Structure formats: structure tokens, C-alpha cells
Chains A and B, each alone.
Chain A
Amino acid sequence: MTDPQLRHVGLKVGGFEAIDVEEAETGIFGFWVFLMSDAILFALLFAVYGTQLAATAGAPGPAAEFKIDSAFWETMVLLLSSFTYGMSSFAMKYGGQLRWVVGMLLVTLVLGLTFLGMEANDFAVMIHDGATPDRSGFLSAFFALVPTHGLHVVAGCSWIVVMLVQVAAFGLDDRVKINLLRLGLFWHFLDVIWIAIFSVVYLQGVMR
């Protein structure tokens, strides 16, 4: 503890005034605990999906239902949003120019909503084709796994809106900064989960 900076945050944001460093560290570490419990939830949904991969029971299977182009563009959008969130954190760390922090948050929000729109469209097409969760074990597992990630992105987008309101109300004070760091962890984590979904669900699915 020789360095009076946040140690849990890679983007060590120095210069906290109102909050002491230890309190900030505890808050970030607690959020990591939540993220890891969430990771375990997703891992088990993946495990269930793996066991149900062959259980199509005559309903449309992965090769028929997955649109790889759409999944690819969703991946690109989410990856870019992860990067733009990183740029927002970067701007916050160095100088904290409100224009950049908020601008990049807005870009991230738009990309997140774009992703959700594309994903909702995918689900609508699947359901229109008769690939509903009640048709087979495979479809149940698919609709348990992928929309759970979608719900997380919905939560992330709502959180971005909340943070924009907080920035507008309080400016970039210490608590807002820490909240933005936590939201950043959440947002990057969602992208990591999506990489697993893209590999395990979509790429594996169209390969069959």
C-alpha cells in the first residue's frame, strides 16, 4: 500500500478526494465478486447448452436457424462498443474531459442498443420459423443462454443511461468515477461472454 492509488483498477484513477482509496478498492473488488458469480451462472448455462446440442427432437436445429452473418455483425458491434467504453474510461483517467467521457458513453449506448435490435430481430425470425423454446431441449437451452446475455446488455444500457444522469447531476466526482469503473468492468465482461457465445453457439452451430 505504498502507492496512494487505486490498486484494483487497471486504469488506476488517482486523485480521489472525498473517498479514501481503501473504500474505493473494496467497492471494485466486491464488484469483481459479483462478476465472477455471474460468470459461473453463464458457465453452467453453457454446460446445459452443450448437453442439449444434439437434442433437437425434430425441431429446427442450429444449422438451419443460425444466421452467421448476423451473429458476426453483432460480434463486431459489441466489440467496438467495448473499445468505445474503454476510450471513455481513458478520457476519464486523463484530464476527465467531460465531452469525451460522455460522448464515448453515448456511442457505447448506441452500439449496445444496435446490438440488442439485431439480436431481437434474430429471435423474432427464429420464432417466426417455429423455432420456439418449447420445441426441443436444444431450443430451450439456446433461449436460456443467449437471451440471458441479452438481458445483461439491457441492464448495461440502462446503467449507462443512469450514469449519464449521474454525470449530468453531479459531474465527475469520486462516486461517479467509481460507478463508471464498475460499469466498465460489467460492459467489458459482457463482451467476453459474447465471445464465448459466438464461438460455442454460433460458430459451432453452423459448422454442423
Chain B
Amino acid sequence: MSGPGPSLPRRLARYGAAALWVATAFSVRPAAAPPARRTARPSKAEIAADRRRDLLTYGIGYGLALALTLLAFALVYWRWAEPPVALALVFGLGLVQVLVQFRCFLHIDFKGQARDDLLLILFSTLIVLLMVGGTLVVLFNLRARMM
């Protein structure tokens, strides 16, 4: 551990952290000061930075949603994959797009200000999975037995 550079795991961790930071960069508030009590109005620079970031969020959200839709459409329209694979891909792309829209348009993230909303959404997702999953299992089982 006395080499000239940092150890490999540490370097990997650093790269990982950097990648994570890039991935969430558009959600990071670039203000240098900690989010302490804001007594005065935010400065012009802060507003400008927020403004740019919000616009970027909408732009990225729209671009990603568009790309994911086009990809799913192309998969089916030009038959790029066999039906079972294509179906799985279409559902996967749809799911990713739902996440993108929740993040960029509905502004749900893991950063505090919407924690209650996030918990509500996660709980609803659990309920949905249980009810939809249960319905599908029971009824497909019934169909298989009756056919």
C-alpha cells in the first residue's frame, strides 16, 4: 500500500463515484453553499444555474423518451428481433421510459424534497405488482386447466 498512486480498489471506487456523479449530474445543485436556511432571496447566479438545470432536465427527459419510443417502435415495425425477444425488449424499454418520465417530468428523485411522494409511489408499485401479478397467475392458471 505504499505505491505511488492510490490502490486499485480505491481507484475503482473513485471511478465509480465519478460515473455516479456524471449519471446524476443534472440533478445535482451546483450551488457551492450547503442548503442552509435561505433567508434572503437566492442570488441571480443561483437562479440562473437552477434555470439552466431545470431546462436541461426537461430537454434530456424529452430526448430520452423520444429515443426510447422510437427504438421500441423500430424494433416492432422493422422486425429487428423475434417476437418473444422483441416483446421483452419493448416492455423493458417501456419500463425505462416510465422511470425517465418520473425523474425528468414528474421530478421524483432520491434527493429529499420528494421523499414522501417517493415512498407513496414505491408502496403503490408494490400493491400494483401484487394485484397484477396475482391476477395474471390465477387467470392464466385457470385458462391452462380449462383448455
* Chain B residues with CB under 8 A of A50: 132, 135-136
Interface residues on chain A, number (Cβ under 8 Å)? 53
Of A86-94, A125-133, A172-180, the one with at least 4 CB within 8 A of chain B: A86-94
Q: Which residue of the partner chain B has the closest CB to A85?
A: B105
In the complex, chain A residues whose CB is within 8 Å of the CB of B109: 10
Knowing A8-B114, A33-B120 are in contact, say whether A47-B73 is a contact too (CB < 8 A). no
Known: A2-B36, A68-B77, A199-B72. A48 touches B135 (CB 8 A): yes
Closest to B91 in A: A199
Q: Verify A39–B94 contact, CB threshold 8 A.
A: no
Q: Does B116 contact A8, Cβ atoms closer than 8 Å?
A: yes
The stretch from B3-11, B15-23, B50-58 touching chain A is: B50-58
Known: A8-B114, A83-B62. A44 touches B105 (CB 8 A): no
> In whole angstroms, what is the CA distance A94 to B55 when docked?
11
CB–CB B47/A79 < 8 A: no
Given contacts A51-B136, A68-B76, A195-B69, contact A7 B112 (CB under 8 A): yes
CB of A117 within 8 Å of the partner chain: no
Using known A-B contacts A10-B113, A40-B131, determine if residue A199 contacts B124 with beta carbons closer than 8 Å: no
* A204 interface residue (CB < 8 Å to B): yes
| B124 A36 Cβ-Cβ under 8 A | yes
- Give the residue name and chain of the B residue nearest to A45 (CB): B132
- CB-nearest residue of chain A relative to B37? A2
- Indicate if the CB atoms of A196 and B132 lie closer than 8 Å: no
Q: In the complex the two chains form, is B54's CB within 8 Å of A93's CB?
A: yes
B139: interface (CB < 8 Å): yes
Interface residues of B in 114-146 (CB under 8 A from A): 114, 116-117, 120-121, 124, 127-128, 131-132, 135-136, 139-140, 143
Q: How far is the CA of A54 from the CA of B146 in the complex (A)?
A: 14
- Interface readout for A69-97 with B: 1 if CB under 8 Å, 0 if not? 00010011001001100110010011000
Chain B contacts of A32 at CB under 8 A? 117, 120-121
Q: How far apart sit A6 and B55, CA to CA, in the bound complex (Å)?
A: 19
**Judging by beta carbons under 8 Å apart, are B76 and A206 in contact?**
yes
- Closest 7 CB pairs between A and B? A10-B107, A199-B94, A36-B124, A47-B135, A7-B113, A51-B139, A188-B105
13 contacts between A and B (CB under 8 A): A29-B117, A40-B124, A44-B135, A50-B132, A51-B135, A79-B69, A83-B58, A83-B62, A86-B58, A189-B106, A195-B65, A195-B69, A199-B72
